[in-house]
Amino acid sequence: MEHKARILKRRHLIYYLEVYDEDTGLPLGHLVDVTTRGIKLVSKTPLEAGKTFRLRMMLPAGYFQETVVHIEAVSKWSNNDINPDFFDTGFEAKSIDIRTRQIIMKLVNLVGFND
């Protein structure tokens, strides 16, 4: 599958933050890559591409007043990770409110690093 060129530089997180499916309450995977336009999760099972998810991401303690952030996103692709026991899934975020955007930007600045 062809990937579009990235406009915003991705930030890889030091912490693998847990992400859950808001509708089922089940864990989907761990956040490994983020911008205000999309995220990448690593999980033990592949996630269906082309599906809209309501994601709940647990925030690292001590950095935010909030403990979670909610993002509606569409899964764009799911492939094997470098480790064959895991899968990577890319999500494109739908509209993100101003507060969630601020949290993501702060998260990237606090616990992310450039590749």
What's domain 11-110's superfamily in CATH?
Answer: predicted glycosyltransferase like domains (2.40.10.220)
Question: What's the pTM value of the predicted model, to 2 decimals?
Answer: 0.81
Q: Please, where are the H alpha helices in 2-79?
A: none
State residue 2's pLDDT score.
Answer: 44
- Taking alpha carbons only, the member of 38, 32, 49, 35 closest to residue 72 is 38
Residue 26 has pLDDT above 90, yes or no: yes
State residue 111's pLDDT score.
Answer: 64
* Span 56-107, pLDDT tens digits: 998 887 888 899 999 999 999 999 999 999 999 999 999 899 999 999 888 8
Could you give the 3-state DSSP secondary structure of residue 100?
A: helix
| Mean pLDDT within 33-55 | 92
| Mean pLDDT within 14-31 | 88
